[in-house]
Homo-oligomer: A and B are copies of this chain.
Amino acid sequence: MRFGVLGTGTVGRTLGSRLVQLGHEVCMGSRHAGGAAASEWVAQAGEAASEGTFADAAAFGEVVINATAGAHSLAALHAAGAENLRGKVLVDVANPLAHDSGFPPKLAVANDDSLAEQIQRAFPEARVVKTLNTVTADIMVEPSLLPGSHNVFVCGEEAGAKTTVVEMLGSFGWPPEAVIDLGGIEAARGPEMYVALWLRLINPLGTWHFNVAVVRPPS
């Protein structure tokens, strides 16, 4: 399968490398083609890796992943172009962390809206699915770094798009029963706002490598 990964940060590089490892072709997109981060990634990720502009990557992908910093996501997706996102599954893993608000950062949007909703509104013909924003990059692609079962969430308007994403998550190591479908794209407010807790757990836990398991009564 062909994936376009938008963003050359840790999240984009980690997702891109894992997808190549799983046998997919991946084009990493950034603001300008030929940048250092993307070129280094291509050199080490292997034959199936390429890079280009946001538009190149979005055009290349059958599935497009938004792994840009949340503050830049809408601009990156506009650069990618609505025509290159039309009808495609757009996996939004970004967090709308506000710039210049210290640590822990505030969210640029929360409570009565979310980044995922902003993206879906701006690109109504893309099939946006929010997922993976609740764990650090290493855990996204290798959940077995943590013991036992723990959970990840999906939100989106369309069941078919969520099925595609659940399959991708399965290939990363998230069993289907670990993936909790929260409903439509509005529900992305939940996992996005959870990040306010996630950010405050880093210091007490002394690691970014953690996640939550949803615990229910014995059935």
**A interface residues (Cβ-Cβ under 8 A, vs B):** 104, 106-107, 110-112, 145-148, 150, 153, 180-183, 187, 189-191, 193-194, 196-201, 203-205, 207, 209-218
Contacts and interface: CB of A to CB of B under 8 A. Distances in A.
A111 B98 CA distance: 10
Contacts of A216: 146, 205, 207, 209-210
Considering residues A153, A198, A205, A217, which has the most beta carbons from chain B within 10 angstroms of its beta carbon? A217
A199 B190 contact: yes
B215 A201 contact: no
A183 B203 contact: yes
Given A111-B106, A215-B213, A217-B209, A183 B196 contact: no
Given A110-B111, A111-B111, A193-B110, A200 B183 contact: yes
Q: Which 8 pairs, one residue from A and one from B, show the smallest C-beta to C-beta distance?
A: A190-B197, A190-B200, A193-B196, A212-B212, A193-B193, A194-B197, A150-B215, A213-B213
DSSP majority for the A interface? Answer: mixed
18 contacts: A110-B193, A146-B215, A147-B215, A150-B215, A180-B201, A189-B196, A190-B197, A190-B199, A190-B201, A191-B197, A193-B197, A194-B197, A201-B214, A205-B216, A207-B216, A209-B216, A210-B216, A212-B215
Given A106-B111, A110-B193, A183-B200, 6 more contacts: A146-B215, A190-B198, A190-B200, A193-B196, A194-B197, A201-B214
Contact of A106 (B112, B199, B207, B209): B112
Contacts of A189: 196, 200
Contact of A210 (B112, B181, B210, B215): B215
A187 B200 contact: yes
Contacts of A203: 183
Contact of A217 (B106, B145, B194, B213): B145
A147 B217 contact: yes
A111 B105 CA distance: 9
